[in-house]
């Protein structure tokens, strides 16, 4: 399903910290988003003027958060926390020198009341830049 939605309404990230620009497609198992915020000179993740490739993980985490909210729009649960990654593969050093849109793909592996597991990739039309798997946990309201 293609959706044109204000992503800031779906995740807790606002302003420049909302890194995704568009939801290209999604269904109950996966989501594909695009972003050009890696080219923004004011990107809040930049360190000494550079956006390291590891920050692609935040792009993927935001896509996972959007997917979770689209699957369960009435959920009142607290935002998930990135608890771990595995099989992380990086190709290159920086994202800000990529001059085309980023394609962020996340695929659900497991969904429980306590958390989620996703595989993800961040790529361009020509090259995979970052991929792996993430575990997202939901903190207890009583913690």
How confident is the model over 96-139, as pLDDT tens digits? 899 999 999 999 998 777 888 999 999 998 899 999 999 988 87
> Is 114 within the bounds of a domain?
yes
> Is 31 within the bounds of a domain?
yes
> Is 110 within the bounds of a domain?
yes
What string of DSSP letters covers 65-134? HHHHHHH-TT--PPPPEEEEEEEEEE-SSBSTT--S-EEEEEEEEEE-SSEEEEEEEEE-SS-EEEEEEE
For the chain, the domain total comes to: 1
Give the model confidence (pLDDT) of 31-43 as tens digits: 999 999 999 999 9
User: Rounded to an integer, what distance in angstroms lies between the CA atom of residue 143 and that of residue 138?
Assistant: 11
Residues 6+ apart with CB under 8 A from 73: none
Q: Domain range holding 43?
A: 7-137
User: Rounded to an integer, what distance in angstroms lies between the CA atom of residue 63 and that of residue 105?
Assistant: 7
Query: In the predicted model, is pLDDT for residue 78 greater than 70?
Result: no
For range 7-22, the mean pLDDT: 90
> Is 67 within the bounds of a domain?
yes
User: Has this prediction a pTM greater than 0.75?
Assistant: yes
> Is 109 within the bounds of a domain?
yes
* The pLDDT of residue 111: 79
């Amino acid at each position: 399903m293609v959706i044109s939605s204000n992503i800031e309404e779906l995740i807790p990230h606002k302003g420049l910290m909302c890194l995704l620009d568009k939801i290209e497609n999604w269904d109950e198992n996966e989501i594909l988003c695009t972003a050009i915020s890696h080219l923004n000179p004011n990107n809040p993740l930049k360190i000494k003027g550079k956006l390291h490739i590891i920050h692609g993980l935040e792009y993927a985490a935001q896509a996972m958060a959007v997917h979770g909210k689209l699957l369960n729009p009435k959920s009142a649960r607290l935002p998930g926390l990135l608890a771990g990654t595995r099989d992380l593969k990086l190709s290159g050093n920086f994202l800000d020198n990529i001059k085309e849109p980023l394609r962020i793909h996340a695929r659900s592996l497991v969904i429980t009341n306590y958390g989620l597991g996703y595989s993800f990739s961040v790529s361009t039309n020509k090259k995979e830049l970052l991929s792996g798997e993430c575990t997202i946990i939901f903190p207890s309201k009583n913690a």
